[in-house]
Every structure is written in structure tokens, then in C-alpha cells.
Amino acid sequence: MQQDKAEQSDARGAADRAVVQWRAYSGGPVITVVLSLTQLLMTPTLAKFLDHLRDYGVTPAGDFVASKWIDNSQSAPSLVFPAADDSVGALTVYDDGEELTIEIGHLHHTHFSAYNYDGETNEQRLAAANKDAARFLTDVFADRVYFTVDYAGERCIGSSHGYLDSGDYSTGSVRLPDAPLFHNEATTSERFVWSGPLNKS
């Protein structure tokens, strides 16, 4: 199909709608469809990710950030889930092509990369990564995952995540790098779950 034009529809005052017109064949009738930007711009990987979330019983209040898809130099296509707590921030899922990157506000990010999974094709490996990313977010939204941000003095020296029921959660543990630079500074950790802060040690 040859697309003759796609333009934002402001005649109806709907900023989230686009009018798409194309001809199925040369000289054929013009077909006009009004689509939401989500339908028009959602990548197959992100659409499948949302399907997996629903399979896990999560119906997120997320918004597709169309501007990031339109201006691909700014960022990868993404889904943004509004913050449950301002100290954590919004959660963003990026479709980086070969992987999904999950950014938890300004605290932490993690990757679900196709090359970390088994499968005969890249599509199968990416599908497995996608499913695990959705399972991870299901646990994040249920406050089963904690995020730690470690500091030496005022400097952030790293972040990590873990499961609250895994036994590795300790309010006094700080991942201190081997570099001697940090050994003479006071270290602190801030810990969060999706719904807000856990503690500061």
C-alpha cells in the first residue's frame, strides 16, 4: 500500500488522533482511517509486552509516548507508566531493538536483552526477553522488587535491584566498589519499592 498522507487531526480537537489516508492500489479509492497514536505508532515488541502484562493480570495505567517514537534521535520508542510516588519517579520501558530497557524513575535501570536467552532465532530470543521483562514489571508494581541507590559521600556509586523475599535484602548492606577512592568516605544507601521509599541507612 502506498501511503499518500498522514497528518495530525485537529479538526476534531483530538490531539491523540491521526488521520491516515492511502490507496490500496494505483488509481484505487482513497481509504481513510482515524487511528489513535498508540495504534499507529506502537512497536510490535511494546504491544507484545503489554499483552504479557495483561496475561500476568496487570492492566497498567500507561501512556505511549508518541513524541519519542516520532523523533527517534531523542530516544527509543517507549511506554511510560506514571509514578506511584514522586521519590521514585515514572517507569519507562524502551524498545531498543535487540532488548527492552526498563528505567525506574531516576533510581535504576535494567536490561532484558535477546542475546541472554535461548532460541533458534532472534525473534524467539527477543520474545523470551519480552516475557521476562513483563514478569519483572508485574513484580515491581506489586512491590516485590526493591531498588537500592548507594552513595559514597554525596556521590552515587551504583544502583541495584533484588527481591524482598530472596534473603539478600539487608538494610545495612552497601555495595562498596573495590576502588580505594571510596573507602575513606561515609557510605549510605537509599532503598525503594515502586510505591515509595523503604528506608535510608
Question: Mind listing the pLDDT tens digit of every residue in the chain (201 residues)?
Answer: 433 333 333 333 344 444 444 544 455 555 454 444 554 567 888 888 888 988 888 765 554 444 344 434 446 778 888 888 999 998 888 888 889 999 998 889 999 999 898 988 989 999 999 999 999 999 998 899 999 998 888 888 889 899 988 665 554 454 544 444 556 777 788 899 999 998 654
Domain boundary among 104, 123, 141: 141
The verdict on 50 and 73 lying in the same domain is: yes
The verdict on 135 and 149 lying in the same domain is: no
Give the per-residue pLDDT at 68.
42
- The number of angstroms, rounded, from the C-alpha of 89 to the middle of its chain's C-alpha atoms is 12
Give the per-residue pLDDT at 86.
92
The verdict on 126 and 156 lying in the same domain is: no
pTM beyond 0.85, yes or no: no
C-beta of residue 125 within 8 angstroms of C-beta of residue 119: yes
What is d(CA 154, CA 54) in angstroms, rounded to the nearest whole number?
40
Give the per-residue pLDDT at 170.
54
Number of domains, the chain? 3
Q: Which range of residues forms the domain containing residue 28? A: 2-37
The verdict on 89 and 175 lying in the same domain is: no
The verdict on 107 and 187 lying in the same domain is: no
What is d(CA 193, CA 89) in angstroms, rounded to the nearest whole number?
11
The verdict on 152 and 132 lying in the same domain is: no
The verdict on 46 and 73 lying in the same domain is: yes
Q: How many CB atoms lie within 10 A of CB 133?
A: 22
What is d(CA 101, CA 103) in angstroms, rounded to the nearest whole number?
6
- Scan for cell 575513606, then name that residue: 184
Give the per-residue pLDDT at 150.
86
The verdict on 182 and 119 lying in the same domain is: no
- Cell numbers standing for residue 130: 519480552
The string over 82-121, giving b where at least 16 C-beta atoms fall within 10 Å of a residue's C-beta and e elsewhere, is: ebbeeebbbbbbbbeeebbbbbbbebbebebebeebeeee
The verdict on 56 and 137 lying in the same domain is: yes
Beta bridge partners of 23: 2, 30
